[in-house]
């Protein structure tokens, strides 16, 4: 989920969740109106209050949905805001505890369970003060401005003046993050030097950008031509003054902070377990990202089992083309064969676009309910492509008329093999992230917190499952494409081993790199970038395979129980039509559906 600055909304939500699990709005009147349990309190009141509360947590996303009250605000991750948030969440916990859940049914019960899950995780996160470390290898708070800019079309003078207020508050937002990171330095809660170097390079590049190219000025390009030219000129001139007088000095101060303070204090160790209370923190992150009670050691063993299984499938594809060498020789052959590469950026985008339309043509027979929001294939911005992953999804906004985007990294074309492209398109585009996220955005009958809920295990699990789903429509026509799909699946299986290895078993970076080098056909550039990502973002890599395996298991249960009465389209609609949720709730939902439809089996 990306925009032109490179920050992903999916990544933003996960960052906010894993770093702070939301924050009240910087510059806002803090919402204290979360009442204690009243005599007439019921789940309806709680849902409305919780929905209002969560709207304040991420004003950037709220504004992108058209919430004018959030249009001048940035997230507030200050200790004071976190304490206010914690008090509000504890009040919600008390109100929920007073409910008789046995009397709840349907949507009311699902709403209650989702709030309890999300709220309890957020309360527990406060023990670890994760806002001390607000960046990873390819994402961070310093990209928030670009995300907001690309999701803030200015349709009127009022919109522009809201944006000018928000621009003026950017230095306060940056200063707050510096204060949090200084607290991390004092307490030893910092990123490894390897990751800090990447962040320092990014913020220095932002500081060096010419003022006229500052992302905060991009919204002014959307001012309507019907607005008087003098007004448009005056508004942009105000923005340029703010960039010159406020934003650029703040960006330079941030770059100095990273160079002079953060880099010298960064750690030589890699794993989260080396942080203060690090092992407890990692166990918490595992639960958050997988929505299960699996232990790190159980996940490690599961990853090893999946690696062995996928290797057997890969060997079948090697046999199918008559290759006589071993796995490494076959991978070397594929990496060296020019038929699997294009030579221009445009050609890669055209290949991705063709695959996307091929899937579009078959979607109605895979999924019953499809979103109205369209999507396009876009190039990852060249300013951030160097350390960027192969591709991501940039969600649109139905409220603001912004389409979704399948982002493709077009750098290093000699390391962008075409045999990986079908899986990438299916995962990041359709039927993966675009279908799931756009459908959720359009569920206007659900509370806002339900539409925005984004747990890695569900969101990434669905996207990884989608890579297998499209095998039914011949997206992998030869053993080479099938091998490429298996390599992509192996990549996610390796994540289970690598993430636990790094953060629980004290693996070195070389040990982690070897897992991908020895078991996948991924290009070396991708292997390097992805390993950095797992080092910097503990736990997040686990949700993909855990979620995919859960959805596959539920499908197999349904196929076995319903026989010829199994309807693939109905199953996919069932998984998607209540939005993202923890895997245990999804499992219960599917099993209830199986029980209700068992009579359809002949």
Phi (first) and psi of residue 307, to 5 degrees? -60, -45
Question: Can you give the pLDDT at residue 40?
Answer: 44
pLDDT, tens digit, 9 for 90 and up, residues 301-324 = 999 999 999 999 999 999 999 999
Cα-flanking dihedrals φ and ψ of residue 66, to 5°? 95, 10
Q: Could you tell me the pLDDT band of residue 26, with boundaries at 50, 70 and 90?
A: low
**Cis bond upstream, residue 431 (ω within 30):** yes
Residue 405: CA count within 13 A, CB half-sphere: 26
Tell me if 55 sits within 8 A of 148, measured CB to CB.
Answer: no
Q: What pLDDT was estimated at residue 18? A: 39
Q: What is the pLDDT of residues 250-269, one digit of tens each?
A: 999 999 999 999 999 999 99
Percent of the chain exceeding pLDDT 70 equals 93
pLDDT digits (tens, 9 = 90+) for 537-585: 999 999 999 999 999 999 999 999 999 999 999 999 999 999 999 999 9
Q: What is the pLDDT of residues 139-181, one digit of tens each?
A: 899 999 998 998 899 999 999 999 999 999 999 999 999 999 9
Checking if the pLDDT of 389 tops 90, the result is no
pLDDT-based confidence at residue 35 (cuts at 50, 70, 90)? very low
| pLDDT tens track for 434-469 | 999 999 999 999 999 999 899 999 999 999 999 999
- DSSP classification of residue 247: I
Mean predicted confidence (pLDDT) in 1-15: 37
When mean pLDDT is compared across 58-72, 313-327, 487-501, the lowest value belongs to 58-72
Is residue 529 within 8 Å of 516, Cβ to Cβ? no
For residues 263 and 201, the answer to whether their CB atoms sit within 8 Å is no
The pTM of this model reads 0.91
| pLDDT over 50 at 418, yes or no | yes
Structure tokens at 259: 């160079």
Look at 60 and 184; give whichever has higher pLDDT: 184
Query: Which conformational region is residue 384 in: left (phi greater than 0), alpha (psi within -120 to 50 degrees), or beta?
Result: alpha
Q: What average pLDDT score do residues 520-543 get?
A: 96
Q: How far is CA 543 from CA 138, 288, 463, 550, in A?
A: 18, 9, 11, 10
Q: What is the pLDDT of residue 386?
A: 82
Predicted confidence at residue 216, as pLDDT, reads: 98
- The gap from C-alpha 257 to its chain's centroid, in whole angstroms, comes to 27
pLDDT digits (tens, 9 = 90+) for 209-225: 999 999 999 999 999 99
Q: Is 471 exposed, middle or buried (0-12, 13-18, 19+ CB in 10 A)?
A: middle
What's the pLDDT band for 16 if we cut at 50, 70, 90?
very low
User: Sorting pLDDT into bands at 50, 70 and 90, what band is 124?
Assistant: very high
pLDDT at 600: 56
Across 331-340, 392-401, 403-412, 549-558, least confident range:
392-401
Task: Please state the rounded mean pLDDT for residues 394-423.
Answer: 94
Here the tokens at position 522 are 């991924």
Look at the block and give the residue holding tokens 């232990």. 295
Q: pLDDT of 266-285, one tens digit each?
A: 999 999 999 999 999 999 99
Cα Rg of the chain, angstroms? 24
- Band (pLDDT 50/70/90 cuts) for residue 388 is confident
């Amino acid at each position: 989920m990306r925009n032109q600055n490179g920050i992903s909304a999916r990544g933003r939500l996960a960052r906010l969740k894993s770093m702070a699990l939301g924050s009240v709005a910087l510059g806002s009147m803090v919402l204290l109106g979360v009442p204690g349990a009243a005599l007439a309190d019921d789940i309806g009141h709680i849902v409305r209050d919780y929905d209002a509360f969560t709207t304040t947590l991420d004003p950037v996303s709220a504004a992108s949905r058209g919430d004018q009250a959030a249009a001048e605000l940035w997230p507030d991750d200050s200790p004071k805001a976190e304490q206010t948030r914690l008090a509000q969440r504890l009040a919600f916990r008390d109100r929920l505890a007073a409910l008789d859940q046995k009397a709840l049914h349907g949507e009311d019960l699902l709403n209650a369970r989702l709030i309890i899950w999300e709220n309890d995780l957020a309360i527990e996160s406060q023990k670890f003060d994760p806002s001390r470390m607000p960046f990873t290898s390819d994402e961070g708070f310093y990209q928030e401005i670009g995300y907001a800019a690309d999701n803030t079309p200015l349709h009127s003078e009022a919109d522009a003046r809201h944006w000018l207020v928000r621009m003026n508050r950017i230095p306060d937002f940056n200063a707050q993050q510096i204060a949090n990171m200084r607290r991390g330095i004092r307490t030893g809660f910092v990123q490894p030097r390897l990751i800090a170097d990447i962040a320092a390079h990014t913020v220095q590049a932002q500081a060096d950008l010419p003022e006229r190219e500052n992302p905060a000025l991009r919204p002014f390009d959307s001012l309507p031509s019907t607005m008087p030219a003098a007004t448009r000129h005056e508004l942009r001139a105000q923005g340029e003054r703010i960039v010159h007088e406020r934003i650029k000095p703040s960006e330079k101060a941030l770059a100095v902070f990273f160079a002079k303070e953060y880099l010298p204090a960064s750690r030589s160790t890699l794993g989260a377990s080396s942080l203060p209370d690090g092992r407890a923190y990692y166990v918490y992150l595992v639960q958050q990202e997988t929505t299960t009670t699996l232990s790190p050691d159980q996940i490690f063993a599961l990853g090893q089992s999946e690696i062995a299984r996928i290797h057997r499938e890969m060997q079948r594809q090697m046999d199918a083309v008559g290759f006589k060498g071993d796995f490494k020789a076959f991978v070397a052959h594929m990496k060296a064969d020019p038929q699997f590469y294009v030579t221009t950026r445009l050609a890669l985008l055209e290949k991705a676009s063709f695959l996307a339309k091929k899937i579009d043509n078959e979607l109605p027979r895979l999924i019953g309910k499809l979103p109205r929001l369209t999507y396009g294939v876009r190039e990852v911005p060249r300013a951030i492509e160097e350390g960027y992953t192969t591709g991501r999804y940039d969600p649109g906004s139905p409220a603001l008329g912004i389409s979704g985007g399948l982002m493709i990294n077009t750098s290093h074309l000699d390391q962008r093999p075409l045999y990986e492209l079908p899986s990438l398109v299916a995962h990041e585009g359709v039927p993966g992230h675009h279908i799931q996220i756009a459908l959720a955005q359009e569920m206007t009958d659900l509370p806002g917190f339900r539409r925005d809920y984004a747990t890695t295990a569900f969101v990434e699990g669905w996207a990884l499952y989608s890579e297998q789903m499209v095998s039914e429509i011949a997206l992998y026509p030869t053993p080479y494409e099938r091998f490429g799909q298996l390599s992509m699946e192996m990549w996610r299986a390796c994540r289970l081993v690598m993430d636990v290895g790094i953060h629980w078993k004290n693996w070195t970076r070389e040990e982690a790199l070897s897992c991908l080098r020895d078991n996948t056909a991924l290009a070396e550039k991708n292997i390097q970038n992805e390993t950095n990502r797992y080092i910097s973002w503990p736990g997040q890599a686990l949700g993909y395979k855990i979620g995919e395996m859960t959805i596959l298991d539920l499908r197999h249960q349904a196929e076995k129980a319903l026989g010829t009465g199994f309807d693939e389209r109905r199953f996919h609609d069932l998984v998607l039509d209540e939005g993202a949720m923890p895997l245990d709730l999804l499992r219960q939902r599917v099993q209830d559906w199986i029980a209700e439809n068992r009579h359809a089996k002949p």
